[in-house]
Amino acid sequence: MKTGKMQRLGLLFCLVMAVLIASGCATGSGGTFQAEGLVIELTHTPMVSFSKLAASQEGAQLVLTGNLRRRNQAFSGRGHVDVAVISPAGEVLAQKSVIYSPKILSKTPGARNHRPSRFEARLNYVPPQGSTIKVSYHASSVSDHQTDCDTNRSLL
């Protein structure tokens, strides 16, 4: 009976991997990586870590999703994610700030399995090949999670 479960689990894993490979998504946990002809750069911070970042095209939209977790217990866990699209020539094509959910990053000290917050940024066009998408965390002391701040941290 255990062998049958293991075979089904192995088959399910292979199926999931095949779907991920065939979907054209790119995922990563940090740094710089390629996704559908685009370069995606994560701005590292001692406060937050990103994981499961994925970029995909849905019709005429570029969809960027990912998870984030609090690394440092010394800040509120409030803020938003800043996204900027830079052309191969260095011109800023678009910028967007999005909230994450849950709205306050979990602060369970020593917990290994607390749920990460998730974000999704939808751009209303697909950037040209060779463009760079910069993603960064922007901490906020404001409790209502405003995303219309003056500076996009991805552009700094």
Q: So what's the pLDDT on residue 6? A: 64
Q: So what's the pLDDT on residue 95? A: 86
Q: So what's the pLDDT on residue 19? A: 40
CA distance 103 to 79: 8
Cis amide bond preceding 127, omega within 30: no
Map out the domains of the chain with their CATH numbers: 27-155 (2.60.40)
Half-sphere exposure of 80 (CA within 13 A, CB side): 21
Q: So what's the pLDDT on residue 28? A: 41
What's the CA dihedral at 144, 145, 150, 154 to 10 degrees? 170
For the record, the structure tokens of 14 come out as 């292979």
Residue pair 104/78 in contact (Cβ under 8 Å)? The answer is yes
For the record, the structure tokens of 53 come out as 């970042």
The Cα-based distances of 141 to 91, 116, 137, 144, 147 in angstroms read 30, 20, 13, 9, 12
Q: State residue 7 phi and psi, 5-degree precision.
A: -65, -45
pLDDT 10s digit of each residue in the chain, 156 long? 466 666 665 555 544 444 444 334 444 444 665 666 788 888 878 888 888 888 888 888 889 999 988 887 777 788 899 998 889 999 988 889 999 998 888 776 665 667 889 999 998 878 888 899 899 998 876 654 455 566 665 565
Residue pair 41/33 in contact (Cβ under 8 Å)? The answer is no
What's the CA dihedral at 75, 33, 126, 24 to 10 degrees? -120
